[in-house]
Structure 1
Amino acid sequence: MSSTANITQDWALLHEGRLAALVDVAIAAGEVTLQHFRKHDLVVDRKGDNSPVTVADREAEQKTRTLLSERFSGDTIAGEEFSEQSGESEYRWTVDPIDGTKSFICGVPLYSTLLALEHRGEPLAGIILIPALNQAVVAATGQGCFYTDDLTTWTAAKVSSQSNLSDAVFVTSEVKTFATRGDDDVYRRLEKSCFLTRTWGDGYGYLMVATGKADLMVDPICNAWDVAAMVPILTESGGRFTDWKGVETIRGGEGLGTNGRLHEEALKLVRST
């Protein structure tokens, strides 16, 4: 595939249309979130773990599930807000309707809508959509990684060539999360070792790494739906995604996404001493 692409057309026949659907469905879910974004009457509830959730989270996930069920009724669908919908096919979808709900609630446009697809238990494709900015990065195994800032024109996405941690941009979601898991010293090591530290986190942080604007994104605590899209996106853009032990998994409870060149050095910093 060339450095520019019409994703939905080029991917229309792959995996019986699932790759093209990945993009279309994510955009539709993102549009649902925008209907509630920066609305003064937004009601915020608390889940069992005290994390916030809104009507936008629930409606966007329901939209995703409805669209996928209509087109691929035999596929399994998992998400953050509702119980898993089991299917008999070899495909599994994972949706996080709003990754960065706190940002969403505060009116910060860096929240993301995430959708990922697995085939036979292996990561196949994923998209990080930033609905409020019309930005997205999407990838599928063997098909490349592509970025857009208008949801129309897609260009090849590539990680940075940075090989010196001392010149690197390190991003994360919340500094206090390191302390929550008892690893505030890990944050201090990363901050001290890198050139610039910013909390451009959640899915947006991984988009920054995949497009070469940041060099490493670190999640001290995460769920599968937070990072299910990251393996294909970072792999196809030339980077790496693993847990803090160096295992390529979305179910390790933590995440490290880098440009690849810095991965081993970053692993040394995140591993507890």
Structure 2
Amino acid sequence: MAQQTITPELRRWIIEQATAGFTPDVVLASMVASGWSESVAMKALDTTLREHLRTQSAAKAVAAAPTASGAAPAQVGVPVPDLDLSRSPRQIDAGDRMVDVIATLNHPRVVVLGNLLSAEECDALMEAARPQLARSLTVETKTGGEELNPDRTSSGMFFTRGQIPEVARIEARIARLVGWPVENGEGFQVLRYHPGAEYKPHYDYFDPAEPGTPTILRRGGQRVATLVMYLNEPARGGGTTFPDVGFEVAPVRGNAVFFSYDRPHPSTRTLHGGAPVIEGEKWVATKWLREREFV
């Protein structure tokens, strides 16, 4: 097959389809049916729509439409945090340290980072969190509260923003790295997983169809990105998995995985989970970013 080129004409066509109300899944299927390879089509969609959202006052670029499977319609896309990888850097300046770029995916938008945290910062977060650990809860979107969930078998706690110097320093680093205000972030959640503990695949956004979601959104709007930071290394198991794309990130001390989602819909392909720890224990710190200031 001859090499396929993403031309200005193709970009204009993609924008026309999105503006007309077709979801990315529908546009992708149309491109593949017309002879485009799936990888080129996905790249063209991702780069074109991201740039369009940034430069065309955003949200109306991608309209909602029912999927072929009859799933709930995709929501309107919104601007999201992101890293500037336009020049394919090996490292990014995060202000007080250089952070390594290890791997990237475009759809879902996933970036694996190395050297985000120092060993001393990892130790400080674990030691400060240890006395406050309790069985992890999940957000209950039917009511807007919290609940025990059998899919989540870790123990954890929350820091408030800037609660200790290490948290404040890392929050400022993340804000610079992904171009998103510190105040739009939830407090760190630190989690510890013993052998056998896991978090089964789930989405981090709040389901718009659930009755408790409006209450949750009053605190800062939807979640639009997640950063999972690894504070130690289990001997076996405990990776962060993305089942929709067959991708797994190994838990390496000081490293992190960032992923964003511009709408609360499975079309973002951000289904993810914490694989069971097989040997040792796993500690992570999770940072969720919201559309607006989180209060």
TM-score by length of 2: 0.27
Larger radius of gyration: 2
Question: Could you say which structure has the greater relative contact order, defined with CA pairs below 8 angstroms and 6 or more residues apart?
Answer: 2
Please identify which structure carries the higher helix content.
1
